[in-house]
Homo-oligomer: A and B are copies of this chain.
Amino acid sequence: MSIRLGILGYGNLGKGVECAVRQNDDMELAAVFTRRDPDSVSILTEGVKVYNTSEITAHKDEIDVLIICGGSATDLPTMTPMYAKDFNVVDSFDTHAKIPEHFANVDAAAKSGNKTAMISVGWDPGMFSMNRAIANAILPEGKDYTFWGRGVSQGHSDAIRRIDGVLDARQYTIPVEEALESVRKGENPDLTTRQKHTRECFVVAEEGADKARIEKEIVTMPNYFDEYDVTVHFISMEELMRDHKGIPHGGFVIRSGVTGINKENRHIIEYSLKLDSNPEFTSSVLIAYARASYRMNSEGMYGCKTVFDVPPAYLCRETPEYLRSHML
């Protein structure tokens, strides 16, 4: 019997989940829920219904795991606790500072309904967090480094779009190659913000806009750009659409540590991702944790979980016997 998934929110992430379900033969898409008019939403999967979010609890017996594809700023803090009582849920909550509070709210809700909720699933938080934690457990004496990119930062792109005279923009976060190499060599550098990443901006300006002013507003923008080396390219809307349509991302988690009676031996653990589509990869991670949510729930493991709480075997389609004989 397939695991029946529901998607709540049909944006980039929801579409990514819909595509990922098709690659997992132990799962099926049961329904999509949207805050929009369901008739205005056309999905890729034939025969699957789209409902308004207001009808969701009426469908709770048709859904094994609900994947909540909302934003971390305003959607998930209320939605995940709200639905965790009636559904096994997975979300990608990524406001690092508010994770403990979100965890507590979701945990109480899930436990009250004997459900299993997975929060902060994706790659960061998610796979990067797991790798940081395990690498720290293996090498207690060492240093952690996280680099992001080359990839599109939605937040930085939006910040540029808010500047007067800007029609559209795309911002790439790029790790500094020399910094990466120094870390990989085990030199344990202390790196400033500027030394770790550069930012490259592709900007479409309004006809006749003052490009020098726009560029200055970008490079001096506090928090977003002022601590970085920033390159600004003005391009046409056609070029933006042609060359910068994708949403690639990725990054590197590196732990550099020592062992030995005199700490004479150095070890580098590196985990890296190179992603053509940030939302589709995130969706693929959500799907794997949806499988874990379903299985852990069926074994009575209720409450809120994160990537730290899930044994790898629960993520895999294959049986434990298969994993041991083919992947160990």
A273–B281 CB distance below 8 A: no
Pick from A32-40, A47-55, A135-143, A216-224 the stretch touching chain B: A135-143
Smallest Cβ-Cβ distance to A185: which chain B residue: B274
A323–B260 CB distance below 8 A: no
Of the candidates B44, B261, B274, B316, the one whose C-beta lies within 8 Å of that of A137 is B316
Q: Does A103 contact B (CB under 8 A)?
A: yes
Min distance, Cβ A20 to any Cβ of chain B, angstroms: 6
Over the window 267-304 of chain A, the binary record of Cβ atoms lying under 8 Å from chain B Cβ atoms (1 yes, 0 no) is 11111111111001101110110010000000000000
A315–B280 CB distance below 8 A: no
**Contacting residues, chain B, for A274 (C-beta < 8 A):** 184, 186, 267-268, 270
Q: Does A129 contact B (CB under 8 A)?
A: yes
Q: A138-B284, A259-B16, A316-B137 are in contact. Are A310 and B307 (CB under 8 A)?
A: no
B324–A134 CB distance below 8 A: no
Q: Does A240 contact B (CB under 8 A)?
A: no
Most buried by B among A44, A267, A270, A328: A328
Q: A129-B328, A265-B280 are in contact. Are A23 and B321 (CB under 8 A)?
A: no
Q: Does A191 contact B (CB under 8 A)?
A: no
A103–B316 CB distance below 8 A: no
Q: How far is the CA of A281 from the CA of B260 in the complex (A)?
A: 9
**Contacting residues, chain B, for A127 (C-beta < 8 A):** 134, 138, 269
Interface bin, chain A: 35 or more
Q: Does A19 contact B (CB under 8 A)?
A: yes
Of the candidates B96, B275, B328, the one whose C-beta lies within 8 Å of that of A120 is B328
Q: How far is the CA of A274 from the CA of B129 in the complex (A)?
A: 20
B261–A313 CB distance below 8 A: no
**Contacting residues, chain B, for A284 (C-beta < 8 A):** 138-139, 259, 267
A328–B311 CB distance below 8 A: no
Q: How far is the CA of A291 from the CA of B266 in the complex (A)?
A: 22
**Contacting residues, chain B, for A23 (C-beta < 8 A):** 140-141, 259
Q: A137-B315, A307-B312 are in contact. Are A328 and B261 (CB under 8 A)?
A: no
Q: Does A208 contact B (CB under 8 A)?
A: no
B138–A19 CB distance below 8 A: no
**Contacting residues, chain B, for A273 (C-beta < 8 A):** 267-270
Min distance, Cβ A116 to any Cβ of chain B, angstroms: 13
Of the candidates B16, B120, B283, B308, the one whose C-beta lies within 8 Å of that of A311 is B308
A129–B327 CB distance below 8 A: yes
**Contacting residues, chain B, for A100 (C-beta < 8 A):** 321, 324-325
* 16 sample A-B contacts, Cβ–Cβ < 8 Å, listed by A number: A24-B140, A96-B328, A99-B324, A99-B328, A103-B324, A127-B134, A133-B312, A133-B313, A133-B316, A134-B316, A138-B285, A265-B275, A267-B273, A269-B272, A270-B273, A308-B316
